[in-house]
């Protein structure tokens, strides 16, 4: 188990939280198989797991109330472990690798409308009484929407990134790097914050600081957006991550190329990015239903 996780961490650049989930998923699977067969599961026993055993495990998980999406993730971890182990031990993995994940409805991203996204940025800048704090919050949210950054990526910027260039190199999930253009509005918002901040930029220190000078917590941005959305009458889905969704959806609606948007977001799989086409299609259908003379 440890060797497999080390392999995933080193060669596949899997994030720490994913490593923890992998371990829990596979240990749960092996624990079930031990009870299922009534004996400890060494490599020999593991290699003999069949299609019926996989079905029994998945049925047991569903009976415990595990959601289809969570079960699909667990199955993916089990397959990854089994594929790695079979290559090293020389047994046939087909029975496990052929197990089908349960079907589930992929949740569509919930972006804001273009005017709502702009209003959110403006409103966030009015929440704090301290001018530098207000400028900080506005700069962070502008980066989320203007560059499609995750909140962790925006708050991970350091003094080395200042002043913000026209193009940023962002290290995202799993250590994947991507190139992100920085629009003038985002550069100006960050520069304005830096000019007001009581803390001098340092190469290894975070750009965005809390009240005492430490790294800004994601919760601080979540909280200020909660206040703003209540004032604007926006739904609870208007979160920091919704600004990233809005970035992608609005680019697509303006004719952006799906592959380019995939690169900008840092999605490993195009299927993840394709969820935004469903959002745009939903918008088009709404317009059609409201505007078509036969509706």
Domain identity same for 90 and 166: no
From 209, 244, 245, 250, the catalytic residue: 244
- Domain contains 294: no
Let me know whether 216 and 248 are in one domain: yes
61 and 180 belong to one structural domain: no
250 and 169 fall within a common domain: yes
Same domain, 210 and 142: yes
Q: Does residue 102 belong to any structural domain of this protein? A: no
Told to judge if 36 belongs to the known catalytic residues of this protein, a careful annotator would answer no
Total number of domains in the chain = 2
Pairing verdict, β 167-171 and 177-181: antiparallel
- Report the Cα 133 to chain-centroid distance in Å: 26
Name the strand (E) or helix (H) holding 247: helix 240-253
Evaluate whether residue 83 is within a structural domain. Answer: yes
Q: Are 70 and 216 contained in the same domain? A: no
Give the separation between CA 158 and CA 234, rounded to whole angstroms: 32
Q: Is 223 a catalytic residue?
A: no
Residues 260 and 154 in one domain: yes
Q: Which of 23, 173, 178, 283 is catalytic?
A: 173
Instruction: Give the range of the structural domain holding residue 162, as residue numbers without chain letter.
Output: 114-289
* Catalytic status, residue 105: no
Q: Is residue 90 in some structural domain?
A: yes
Among residues 35, 67, 97, the one where a domain terminates is: 97
Residue 267 annotated in active site: yes
Give the containing element (helix H, strand E) for 252.
helix 240-253
Q: What is the CATH number of the domain that holds 180?
A: 1.10.443.10
Residue 165 and residue 276 in one domain:
yes
Write out the H or E segment, with its range, that includes residue 181: strand 177-181
Tell me how far apart the alpha carbons of residues 146 and 80 are, in angstroms, rounded to a whole number.
36
Q: Does 275 share its domain with 142?
A: yes
Q: Which of 69, 79, 241, 283 is catalytic?
A: 241
The tens-digit pLDDT sequence of the chain (295 residues) is 889 888 888 776 667 778 889 999 999 999 998 888 877 667 777 888 888 899 999 999 988 888 888 888 899 999 999 999 998 888 888 888 888 887 765 565 578 888 999 999 999 999 888 999 999 999 999 999 888 888 999 999 999 999 999 888 888 776 677 888 888 999 999 999 999 999 999 999 999 999 889 999 999 999 999 999 999 998 888 889 888 888 887 777 666 666 666 766 665 555 555 566 555 555 555 645 665 455 4
CA distance linking residue 262 with residue 191, whole number of Å: 28
Annotated catalytic residue within 136, 150, 209, 250:
150
Positive or negative CA dihedral for 136, 141, 145, 151? positive
Do 151 and 80 share a structural domain? no
Which CATH number covers residue 55? 1.10.150.130
């Amino acid at each position: 188990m440890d060797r497999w996780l080390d392999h995933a961490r080193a060669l596949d650049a899997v994030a720490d939280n994913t490593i923890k989930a992998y371990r829990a998923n596979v240990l749960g699977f092996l624990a079930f198989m031990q009870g299922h067969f009534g004996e400890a599961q060494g490599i020999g026993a593991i290699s003999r797991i069949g299609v019926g055993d996989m079905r029994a495990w998945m049925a047991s998980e569903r009976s415990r109330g595990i959601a289809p999406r969570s079960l699909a993730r667990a199955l993916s971890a089990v397959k990854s472990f089994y594929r790695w182990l079979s290559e090293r031990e020389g047994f046939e993995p087909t029975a496990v690798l052929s197990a089908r994940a349960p079907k589930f409805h992929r949740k569509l991203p919930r972006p804001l409308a273009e005017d709502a996204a702009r209003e959110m940025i403006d409103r966030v800048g009015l929440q704090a009484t301290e001018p530098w704090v207000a400028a900080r919050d506005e700069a962070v949210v502008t980066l989320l929407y203007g560059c499609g950054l995750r909140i962790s990526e925006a708050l991970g910027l350091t003094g080395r990134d200042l002043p913000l260039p026209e193009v940023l190199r962002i290290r995202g999930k799993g250590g994947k790097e991507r190139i992100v253009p920085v629009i003038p509005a985002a550069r100006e918002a960050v520069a304005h914050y830096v000019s007001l901040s009581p803390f001098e930029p340092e190469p290894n220190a975070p750009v965005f600081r809390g009240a005492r000078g430490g790294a800004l917590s994601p919760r601080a941005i979540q909280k200020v957006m909660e206040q703003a959305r209540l004032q604007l009458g926006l739904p609870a889905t208007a979160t920091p991550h919704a600004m990233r969704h809005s970035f992608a959806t609005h680019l697509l609606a303006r004719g952006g190329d799906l592959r380019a948007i995939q690169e900008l977001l840092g999605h490993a799989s195009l299927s993840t990015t394709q969820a935004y086409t469903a959002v745009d299609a939903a918008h088009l259908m709404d317009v059609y239903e409201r505007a078509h003379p036969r509706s």
